[in-house]
Amino acid sequence: MNGRYLLDTNIVIAALSDDSDVVGNIEDADEYFVSATVLGEMLYGAHHSANADDNNRRIDSFLSKAGFLACDQTTAEMYGEIKTELRRKGRPIPDNDIWIAASAKQHSLTLVTRDAHFDDVDNLPLIRW
């Protein structure tokens, strides 16, 4: 599965849980990225787990192989556009997911997710693993 992908939090969790389909697709990707928002969600989960140190190490190891996308002014502008579009449609999604969608659109990446609500974001390339 060649391509350039932004991994949603549920995909990173699946990879860290050794989901063979996700791990195989990641290995076949040309490039894959994690956004600051996804990292924040992952670290929050790790800090609140019974094995915080181990989970933080696993996240660090995963990140050493992935590209990292920070948020900037362009990301914020896209966030505002997407949130406005979703509000007009009457189809809100969680704010963190809007940030993730904005990062994917900003960097022309296909978002890999298991969340159906991303379907409501116009012109967002999606794939489910």
pLDDT of residue 1: 61
pTM of the model as a whole: 0.94
Q: Which domain holds residue 86?
A: 4-127
Residue 120 CA to residue 89 CA, distance in Å, equals: 9
Task: Indicate the helix (H) or strand (E) that contains 69.
Answer: strand 67-69
Q: For 113, what's the count of Cα atoms within 13 Å in the CB-facing half-sphere?
A: 21
Q: Is the dihedral of CA 72, 76, 77, 79 positive or negative?
A: positive
- List, in order, residues 6 or more apart from 46 with CB less than 8 Å away: 52, 55, 56, 59
Mean pLDDT of 20-32: 96
Q: How many structural domains are present in the chain?
A: 1
* Token pair for 61: 């190891």
Structure confidence at residue 24 (pLDDT) = 96
Looking at residue 105, which CATH number applies to its domain? 3.40.50.1010
